[in-house]
Amino acid sequence: MTVWSSPMNNRDYARVLQEIAQLMEISGENRFKVRAFENATRTVETLSEDLDQIIDRGDLQGLKGIGASIANDLRQIRERGTCDIHQMLLERLDPGLLDMLKVQGLGPKRIKLVYNELGVSNLNALKEAAEAGRLRELKGLGAKTEEKVLAEIARLAQGADRAPLPQARRVAESLRDQLDALPQSIRVAIAGSLRRGRETIGDIDLLVATDEPGPIHQAFVALPEVKETLASGDTKTSVRLHNGIQVDLRTVKNEVFGSALHYFTGSKEHHIELRTRAKRQGLRVSEYGVFKENEDTPIASRTEEELYEALGLSFIAPELREGRGEISAAEKSDLPTLVEPEQIRGDVHMHTTETDGRHSIEEMADAAKALGYDYIVITDHSQAVRVANGMTPERFGDHIARIREADGRIQGIRILAGIEVDILKDGSLDMDHDLLAEADWVVGSVHSHFNLDPDTMTERLLTGMRTGLLSCLGHPTGRILGGRNGYRYDFDAVVEACVELGVALELNGSSGRLDLNAELAEKAHRKGAMLVLGSDAHSTTGLKDLRFAVQQARRAWLGPDAILNTLTVDELLKATRPALR
DNA sequence: GCCGTTTTCGGCCCGACTGTTTTCAGTCG
């Protein structure tokens, strides 16, 4: 079974379930029933295994939030791409209503109202109704709502959606530092999905501990990045930046910083599960702490560690807080020990001025030393990548010599000679095999002919790997965050070949990629494959992108043993390419 | 619709902010 070429992939199943939840909500269905479909959506979305395989095994009802009824729906969806309840809702309601849910400030109740009263069933009709001043005729809506709705529709038309994690991270760090510099702020933290390391970010969440919230909120809305204020109260302010990203600021007393950070980090699913569990134990959890029933003084609030302890749980890292079984694992002290940034000894993927990088071997080595690494691998492009000034065999031979020379000259870090070699359309490698054998580390990547049919693409990758010369597959799916989808091939077959041939899979941390993503990394690990982190840096600052790869590895529940970069240089060189040893 | 170390029935997280209201519903995270 394949990931990319399956007629129904997990995302398709999740989309149908989500549409059911949304249409049910608009139709005024029982909210807990709606939540059941939302829960099932999340479960399917974050599976690291193909749902098709689970259906084949008859294990559907073993999944969290999926009972007999939704299991039946899923089997129908597999057969027909839809199911009875989905069909029925679509017949009764207009699918254009789903777009209207994207308008902030407009929820299911108001959508139902404008649908029933004005016959408005899509964004265009909504816009016309707002412009004509007809929304204010409805109970509970007024002129201000009309104004907001129109502004939201205009924003949606610009296509502003979720931002890639690395981009949002940089924006958030700048805002954090500015808030941190205010005299009234005691400490500042980035929370939300950024802290959990989700690969794309809907908005930025910032938390400030302070005894004087007023000046903090005033200074926040006056920051140069801020375009408009969406809402502002005593403890919470929301703004939109000029770049379109929404930022929520919450201020709290320092005494409750831990519980507030926990609350503001999410996810929603983690909170619901945690709070439901607490309630059964006679406890209440909010952003102000853990409370015993009917008491106002928290038994834990200062730190997240205290909060989990008070609930009888071992500490759960932010990257795991997705409601994917982390709470029951924490109950049994059964959580994995996750890989830590400090355990990373080296970086195996970077470019220099020899091809399309901005800095020299020496400059990259110095920057890597400053990051505390023991080793780096220089991996410039092969000639097929013309736009990147890829190397001919002659140039690569010279480059190896220069890298060896630099390695001998520069103290305090090992510099290994490598290459990012193209896996060409027919699966052959874009470099002399003798030179590839001479290199210490070879990243094999696809940079052309992305649209081959899945079988051909699979065979292409397998052919490249069977040379025995590849250390790892670089950015294995080729997806660009918010851009193109990955190329389509039989992921399972390739992972199995990786295990058999001793080829690692890269977790590429560069800004636009995060490839493999957490789900596929987890899947590859479960199938026994080795994983290796690469920054794919094209400059000294790009080296820092490796942290994003670490974070995705943590989201995949991976420990140091699963990651080759935690090995010493000698161990690393023995880990792959068994045929050459 | 799902679920169970009190339950196979009766529950299902918790609080802040807005707009349109005279005490609160709707939305959001």
pLDDT of A157 reads 84
Asked, for residue A308, whether it belongs to a domain, the answer is yes
Which of A106, A112, A138 is closest to A26 using CA atoms? A112
A157, A181, A206: which is the final residue of a domain?
A157
- Residue A117: domain span: 10-157
Tokens of A473: 């597959």
Asked, for residue A1, whether it belongs to a domain, the answer is no
Asked, for residue A119, whether it belongs to a domain, the answer is yes
Q: What is the DSSP letter of A534?
A: E
pLDDT of A127 reads 93
Tens-binned pLDDT, residue by residue, of chain A (581 aa)? 344 444 688 889 999 999 999 999 999 888 889 989 998 998 898 887 889 999 999 999 888 889 999 999 999 999 999 999 999 999 999 999 999 998 988 999 999 999 999 999 999 999 999 999 999 999 889 888 999 899 889 888 877 678 889 889 999 999 999 999 999 999 999 999 999 999 989 899 999 999 999 999 999 999 999 998 988 888 999 999 998 899 999 999 999 999 999 999 999 889 988 998 898 888 989 999 999 887 888 999 999 999 999 999 999 999 999 888 899 899 988 899 999 999 999 999 999 999 999 999 999 999 999 999 999 999 999 999 998 999 999 999 999 999 999 999 999 999 999 999 999 999 999 999 999 999 999 999 999 999 999 999 999 999 999 999 999 999 999 998 877 888 999 999 999 999 999 999 999 999 889 999 998 999 999 999 999 999 999 999 999 999 999 999 999 999 999 999 999 999 999 999 998 87
pLDDT of A232 reads 87
The backbone torsions φ and ψ at residue A67, rounded to the nearest 5 degrees and listed phi first, read -105, -165
Gap between the Cα atoms of A252 and A8, Å rounded: 46
pLDDT of A5 reads 43
| Residues 113-172 of chain A in contact with strand B via CB under 7 angstroms | 136, 139-145, 148
Q: What's the CA A143/C1' B3 distance, rounded, in angstroms?
A: 44
**Cβ atoms within 10 Å, residue A27:** 16
Q: What's the CA A305/C1' B24 distance, rounded, in angstroms?
A: 37
CATH at residue A325: 3.30.210.10
User: Do A477 and A531 belong to one domain?
Assistant: yes
User: Do A238 and A217 belong to one domain?
Assistant: yes
The reply to whether A27 has its C-beta less than 7 Å from any atom of strand B is no
Dihedral, A195, A196, A202, A208 alpha carbons, nearest 10: -30
pLDDT of A557 reads 95
Dihedral, A397, A398, A403, A404 alpha carbons, nearest 10: 80
Into how many domains does chain A fold? 4
The reply to whether A191 has its C-beta less than 7 Å from any atom of strand B is no
User: Do A129 and A222 belong to one domain?
Assistant: no
Gap between the Cα atoms of A71 and A292, Å rounded: 38
Asked, for residue A503, whether it belongs to a domain, the answer is yes
Residue A3 near residue A492, CB atoms below 8 Å: yes
Residue A502 near residue A469, CB atoms below 8 Å: no
Only one residue has tokens 């789903």, namely A98
Among all strands, which nt has the closest C1' to A273 (CA)?
B13
Q: What's the CA A68/C1' B10 distance, rounded, in angstroms?
A: 19
Gap between the Cα atoms of A116 and A283, Å rounded: 42
Q: What's the CA A321/C1' B13 distance, rounded, in angstroms?
A: 15
Which of A444, A379, A381 is closest to A415 using CA atoms? A379
CATH at residue A237: 3.30.460.10
Buried b (16+ CB within 10 A) or exposed e, A265-283: bbbebbbebbbebbeeeeb
Q: What's the CA A261/C1' B3 distance, rounded, in angstroms?
A: 29
A100, A131, A157: which is the final residue of a domain?
A157
Q: Which residue is nearest to nucleotide B20 (CA to C1')?
A: A140
Residue A99 Cα to chain centre, angstroms: 24
Only one residue has tokens 């079974």, namely A1
pLDDT of A562 reads 97
Gap between the Cα atoms of A49 and A33, Å rounded: 26
Which of A565, A562, A494 is closest to A526 using CA atoms? A562
The reply to whether A266 has its C-beta less than 7 Å from any atom of strand B is yes
User: Do A204 and A292 belong to one domain?
Assistant: no
User: Do A435 and A543 belong to one domain?
Assistant: yes
Asked, for residue A3, whether it belongs to a domain, the answer is no
User: Do A402 and A498 belong to one domain?
Assistant: yes
User: Do A412 and A553 belong to one domain?
Assistant: yes
Gap between the Cα atoms of A214 and A234, Å rounded: 7
- Which amino acid is present at A102? K
Residue A334 near residue A559, CB atoms below 8 Å: no
The reply to whether A286 has its C-beta less than 7 Å from any atom of strand B is yes
Strand B, nucleotides < 7 Å from a protein CB: these are: 1-3, 6-7, 11-21, 25-29
Asked, for residue A336, whether it belongs to a domain, the answer is no
| Residues 393-422 of chain A in contact with strand B via CB under 7 angstroms | none
Residue A92 Cα to chain centre, angstroms: 35
The reply to whether A37 has its C-beta less than 7 Å from any atom of strand B is yes
pLDDT of A160 reads 62
Among all strands, which nt has the closest C1' to A65 (CA)?
B2
User: Do A427 and A553 belong to one domain?
Assistant: yes
The reply to whether A28 has its C-beta less than 7 Å from any atom of strand B is no
List % helix, strand, coil for chain A (3-state, nearest 5): 50, 15, 35
User: Do A464 and A348 belong to one domain?
Assistant: yes
Gap between the Cα atoms of A205 and A237, Å rounded: 10
User: Do A248 and A261 belong to one domain?
Assistant: no
| Residues 243-262 of chain A in contact with strand B via CB under 7 angstroms | 246, 248
Which residue stretches of A93-185 are H helix? 96-100, 108-118, 123-131, 143-157, 165-180
Q: What's the CA A98/C1' B12 distance, rounded, in angstroms?
A: 25
User: Do A386 and A489 belong to one domain?
Assistant: yes
pLDDT of A2 reads 44
Give me the residues paired with residue A236 across strands: A250
Q: Which residue is nearest to nucleotide B7 (CA to C1')?
A: A280
User: Do A152 and A173 belong to one domain?
Assistant: no
Asked, for residue A268, whether it belongs to a domain, the answer is yes
A302, A331, A360: which is the final residue of a domain?
A331
Q: What's the CA A433/C1' B10 distance, rounded, in angstroms?
A: 69
CATH at residue A425: 3.20.20.140
Asked, for residue A564, whether it belongs to a domain, the answer is yes
The reply to whether A38 has its C-beta less than 7 Å from any atom of strand B is no
pLDDT of A483 reads 76
CATH at residue A76: 1.10.150.110
